[in-house]
Amino acid sequence: MWEKVENNYVKCKICHNQCLISPGSVSRCTSRMNVNGKMELETYGLISSLASDPIEKKPLYHFHPGTRVFSVGGWGCNFTCLHCQNWEISQSSKREEIINLRKGLGVGGYCVSPEELVDLAIQNNCQGLSWTYNEPAIWLEYTIESAMLAKQRGLYTAYVTNGYITPEGLDQIAPWLDAFRVDLKSFDDEFYSRICGVKNWWGIYETTKHASELGLHIEAVTNIIPGKNDSDDNLKKITGWIAENLGEDTPWHVTRFFPYNKLQDLPPTPVETILKAVKIGKEEGLNFVYTGNMGETALTECPRCSTLAVKRDDHIEVNLNPDGTCTLCGRDLNIVY
């Protein structure tokens, strides 16, 4: 996913940043290095975080409900979000830290092969494997090799992503990827450039549509930040796009912002704003809109007959046919079960 250009530079084609990397330099995400005119993945197998989680924590509500997923995170990111909750691993990875991790001198990091990673998932009684905490696409080769092994051993696979991977990059892993949980942060240039530090934001929507065309299970999340992406117009554009391009049964999760990192001067998102977003999502035709980090029980009801299909509380109660359809009327609920 790169090409050599003039003066021994290399151009990375994995994400929409399309980094042009000079000899001896690294990409913006800090994971790629130009070594003698070849692009190499410097963070292959370097793990920052490992955990066994409920799949609902990702959040994925319509994907193997009630199961556990083995979550793995790496180092670096192709975004520089001002409100990132994982900035210690996504934005603090300097070149020296990566070198020390590779040499085994770093603290708080691990080098885990794809084989070891899949073994750990199974040993921890997980039914799936998820790349999360930082952007998974920046260590594409590692996730591909891990996903191939995971599928061979009966695990499901999921990307928790900002969606900035190119359609061509997604094609590389899609044969072994089941779910694409994507952040649709906003629908305008200003938010992505000022808050996330990236351009070409429309590529996120192009890639997400491509993921749908490839048959991946998709759920979208919008973290609503006061005064930044909470306007009615912005929320209508996001939800209208989801309904038209991904389908009205695509789950949309709206979550509250809390002051963090470089946006500590802002207040938490009012609950009223979240409820407004839910109303807008439903008005735009979405059948499954969920509120996050509000401490509420999350219910999935059949849009046709209102039968309770999934209840998410301290434990998960599932009332589905084996094919994920409604037990009363048989409606397809877009649930992988």
The Cα 209–Cα 323 span in angstroms is: 24
**Is position 66 within any domain?**
yes
203-247 pLDDT, tens per residue?
A: 999 999 999 999 999 999 999 999 999 999 999 999 999 999 999
Measure Cα distances from 296 to 225, 290, 312, 323 in Å. 20, 10, 9, 27
**Is position 64 within any domain?**
yes
What single letter denotes the amino acid at residue 188? D
**Is position 36 within any domain?**
no
List own/partner pairs for 201-206 with CB under 8 A and 24 or more apart: 203/16, 203/164, 203/166, 204/16, 204/162, 204/163, 204/164, 205/163, 205/241, 205/245, 206/167
Q: Radius of gyration of the chain from Cα atoms?
A: 20
Same domain, 247 and 304: no
Share of the chain above pLDDT 70, in %: 95
Same domain, 102 and 203: yes
**Is position 8 within any domain?**
no
Q: Nearest to residue 240, comparing CAs of 222, 225, 257? A: 222
Same domain, 255 and 313: no
Q: What is the pTM assigned to this prediction? A: 0.95
Give bridge partners of residue 160 from the DSSP assignment.
Answer: 181
Q: What CATH number has the domain bearing residue 55?
A: 3.20.20.70
- 257 pLDDT higher than 80: yes
pLDDT band, residue 88 (cuts 50/70/90): confident
Same domain, 130 and 265: yes
Same domain, 290 and 151: yes
**Is position 15 within any domain?**
no
Q: Which residue range(s) make up the domain with 92?
A: 45-296
- SS3 per residue for 89-148: HHCCCCHHHHHHHHCCCCCCCEECCHHHHHHHHHHCCCCEEEECCCCHHHHHHHHHHHHH
**Structure-block tokens of residue 6:** 């003039």
**SS3 label, residue 30:** coil
- 126 pLDDT higher than 90: yes
Q: How many domains does the chain have?
A: 2
